[in-house]
Amino acid sequence: MPEAWESDARTATARPCGAGGCDEKAEMSTPPLPAPTLRRMPAYLRLLRAWEAEGRDTVSCTHLAEALGLDPTLIRKDLQLAGGSGRPKTGYRLAELVPALEAFLGWSHPSEAFVIGAGNLGLALLHYQGFAAHGLSIVAAFDDDARKVGTSSLGKRIFPLAKLADLGQRMGVRLGILCVPEAAAQAVAETCCAAGMRGLWNFTGARLQLPEGTVVEDIDLAQSLALLSHRLSHRQAPHPAASPIGTAP
Amino acid sequence: MPEAWESDARTATARPCGAGGCDEKAEMSTPPLPAPTLRRMPAYLRLLRAWEAEGRDTVSCTHLAEALGLDPTLIRKDLQLAGGSGRPKTGYRLAELVPALEAFLGWSHPSEAFVIGAGNLGLALLHYQGFAAHGLSIVAAFDDDARKVGTSSLGKRIFPLAKLADLGQRMGVRLGILCVPEAAAQAVAETCCAAGMRGLWNFTGARLQLPEGTVVEDIDLAQSLALLSHRLSHRQAPHPAASPIGTAP
DNA sequence: GGTTAATCGGTAATTAATTCTCTATATAGG
DNA sequence: CCTATATAGAGAATTAATTACCGATTAACC
């Protein structure tokens, strides 16, 4: 996998957690946050980090909007939801906005994750260097196939699937990345949950049924391909400005 | 990559192309189709194909809605947009709905595509067997790195990047799948366009600037990860029924 | 120090998307 | 043949998301 963003995920000073709710007990009555907003965040963060690296120290919604082809007001609202706060005339201080966004997304310090399924995709994710900038650290992979078990490049180890539950629990890993064949997905997902994982990144295309409280995020290439091939065969570009942000997966 | 859906993409009888516009000259005044609708299509199609394989011959929105956790009316509207048409009491005939959806998505007969960038991800996509069911046929890959050039498994060949423009034009390939490092993305994308490709499936994370009329669809793992890690760190599942369809990428 | 220009933050209006309600209709069962 | 019922289809109503508008505020400039 490509991409090589700046990977200086600094340990942020965890601002008051914007978004309305979230007082001490992070559980109750959180007014559900618009998914489109969350999907735009990485684009903001990416640009902000780049500009910070260039030496800038403030940024306005206007600038961001221009660079991303979005409406300034939209960005202002998004940043507000994320707990950012700016000042008239100058905008937002990068030195406080960047950590705020990182904290908001939970990227301030990396979460550890397991890849389950060491096929082509699983290995691609296992070896991808760019996740560090996104608060993700993949620590190991698991596979059924004995031939795949062992040490892979870059010191990432591949364990037999049978060890998943035990290792997951012992290491306190909370995130599982599912890259198994679709038929195996449900069973493996349940193992993950049983091992204490609270989040699953599901690349399998299966529609998972899991206990309440588990966070599942699906990557479904078919969805994306549907847009692409429909538009291709009907010859219509999405918007004047090609695919802004929140719309594409 | 996992998934192994039924791959019987039948050559459909191209129904009247529902969706409002699309009269002969497929170019003008097409009332832009809601992206969420398009994103739900593959889920419908998948289920319909499975049921058809089981021997069912009609299906109602109610059934689909139940199976997918969506509102029946929503599905009815989606199917209408896609050119489907049903009858009271029985619902839609699978034998006509499935081809209608396939035609609508442009999956009736496979489009040929090139993968550009034969890294882990590029190879994963190149070798993925499931695209046939999605009207996609990846015919070759391209890479800069001379060591990667040659014949890969399954008879898919990897060519030097320099041959992209020539081969693309000669073979009339209209779709490019970008799996190169982000820094190279813009240049490669331009080469693709110059070679006559009209659609780009962009896995690079780069924000591409391309000539009007090019259809770009981005797969941005960061967007998805943002949702996942935010919700994980704030401990809130998305909906009661975990991540329906149109919302996830 | 006053003035100007840019920007945030809040509120209202618009637009898009989903859900609700109702009517007509075709099928199945009696 | 007649009735009961599940369903499509159309349009209204709701909800979510985006965009437009308007003061208030702060820095920069003269």
Same domain, B156 and B207: yes
Look at residue A95 and tell me if it is in a domain: yes
Query: Nearest to residue A135, comparing CAs of B9, B78, B226?
Result: B226
Same domain, A63 and A4: yes
- Whether residues A225 and B201 touch (CB distance < 8 A) is answered with yes
Look at residue B12 and tell me if it is in a domain: no
What gap in Å lies between CA A43 and CA B32, rounded to an integer?
25
Which of A26, A43, A104 has its CB closest to that of B235? A26
Distance B72 CA to D10 C1' (A): 15
In a 3-state reduction of DSSP, which class is residue A209? coil
pLDDT of residue B31: 72
Residues whose CB falls within 8 Å of the CB of residue A155, separated by 6 or more in sequence, listed in order: none
pLDDT of residue A155: 86
Query: What is the arithmetic mean of pLDDT over B191-206?
Result: 96
Which residue's structure tokens are 């599901």?
Answer: A202
- Whether residues B120 and A111 touch (CB distance < 8 A) is answered with no
Global pTM?
A: 0.86
pLDDT of residue A234: 86
Q: pLDDT digit of tens for each residue in chain A (249 aa)?
A: 433 322 222 222 233 343 333 433 444 456 789 999 999 999 999 999 999 999 999 999 999 999 999 999 999 999 999 999 999 999 999 999 999 999 999 999 999 999 999 999 999 999 999 999 999 999 999 999 999 999 777 889 999 999 999 999 999 999 999 999 999 999 999 999 999 999 999 999 999 999 988 999 999 999 999 999 999 998 766 544 444 454 433
pLDDT of residue A194: 95
Same domain, B42 and B117: no
CA A79 to chain CA centroid, Å, is: 17
Query: Is the CA virtual torsion B64, B69, B73, B78 positive or negative?
Result: negative
pLDDT of residue A24: 39
Q: Which two tokens stand for residue B40?
A: 């739900």
What gap in Å lies between CA A153 and CA A148, rounded to an integer?
12
Same domain, B43 and B96: yes
pLDDT of residue A11: 25
Look at residue B199 and tell me if it is in a domain: yes
Instruction: Quote helix, strand, coil % in chain A, to nearest 5.
Output: 45, 15, 40
Q: B-chain residues within 8 Å CB-CB of A123?
A: 120, 124
Buried b (16+ CB within 10 A) or exposed e, B81-110: bbbbebeeeebbbbebbbbbbbbbbbbbeb
Q: What is the pLDDT of residues B118-156, one digit of tens each?
A: 999 999 999 999 999 999 999 999 999 999 999 777 889
Q: What is the pLDDT of residues B69-117, one digit of tens each?
A: 999 999 999 999 999 999 999 999 999 999 999 999 999 999 999 999 9
* φ/ψ of residue A151, rounded to 5: -95, 125
pLDDT of residue B2: 39
- Whether residues A249 and B219 touch (CB distance < 8 A) is answered with yes
In a 3-state reduction of DSSP, which class is residue B142? strand
Helical (H) or strand (E) element with A111: strand A111-116
**Which nucleotide is closest, CA of B75 to its C1'?**
C18
Instruction: Quote helix, strand, coil % in chain B, to nearest 5.
Output: 40, 15, 45
Which has the higher per-residue pLDDT, A114 or B24?
A114
CATH number at residue B67: 1.10.10.10
- Whether residues B232 and A136 touch (CB distance < 8 A) is answered with no
pLDDT of residue A29: 58
Q: What is the pLDDT of residues B25-53, one digit of tens each?
A: 444 456 789 999 999 999 999 999 999 99
Look at residue B171 and tell me if it is in a domain: yes
Look at residue B184 and tell me if it is in a domain: yes
pLDDT of residue A202: 98
- Whether residues A3 and B205 touch (CB distance < 8 A) is answered with yes
Domain termination residue (choose one: A108, A125, A142): A108
Q: Which of B46, B203, B224, B245 is the best residue to mutate to test the A interface, defined by the most A CB atoms within 10 Å of its own CB?
A: B224
What gap in Å lies between CA B228 and CA A144, rounded to an integer?
26
pLDDT over 80 at B21, yes or no: no
Same domain, A65 and A77: yes
- Residues engaging strand D (CB under 7 angstroms): A 34-37, 70-71, 73-74, 77, 87-90, 246; B 60-63, 72-73, 76, 79-80, 84-92
Helical (H) or strand (E) element with A94: helix A94-105
Look at residue B228 and tell me if it is in a domain: no
- Whether residues A230 and B106 touch (CB distance < 8 A) is answered with yes
Work out how many domains chain A is built from and give that number: 2
Same domain, A143 and A213: yes
> Would you mind telling me the total number of residues written for chain A in this entry?
249
Domain termination residue (choose one: B105, B133, B156): B105
Q: Which two tokens stand for residue B162?
A: 């320099």
Same domain, B86 and B184: no
Same domain, B126 and B97: no
Same domain, B73 and B116: no
Look at residue B175 and tell me if it is in a domain: yes
Pairing, β A58-59 against β A92-93? antiparallel
Q: Which two tokens stand for residue A136?
A: 């993700």
Domain termination residue (choose one: B105, B131, B146): B105
Which of B1, B123, B227 has its CB closest to that of A39? B227
Same domain, B98 and B142: no
pLDDT of residue A30: 64
Which has the higher per-residue pLDDT, B217 or B26?
B217
A72 touches strand C (CB under 7 A): yes
Query: Nearest to residue B227, comparing CAs of A236, A166, A107?
Result: A107
pLDDT of residue B30: 64
Same domain, A62 and A154: no
C-alpha angle A24-A27-A28 in degrees, rounded to nearest 5: 95
Buried b (16+ CB within 10 A) or exposed e, A97-120: bbbbbbbbbbbbebbebbbbbbbb
Look at residue B2 and tell me if it is in a domain: no
CATH number at residue B170: 3.40.50.720
Query: Nearest to residue A97, comparing CAs of A152, A15, A34?
Result: A15
Distance B89 CA to D6 C1' (A): 5
Distance A14 CA to C11 C1' (A): 29
Chain C positions with an atom below 7 A of a protein C-beta are 5-11, 16-21, 24-28
User: Angle, to 10 degrees, between the axis of helix A94-105 and the axis of helix A35-53?
Assistant: 140
Domain span at A204: 111-218
Same domain, A96 and A198: no
Do the beta carbons of residue B232 and residue A175 sit within 8 Å?
yes
**pLDDT band for position B237 (cuts 50, 70, 90):** low
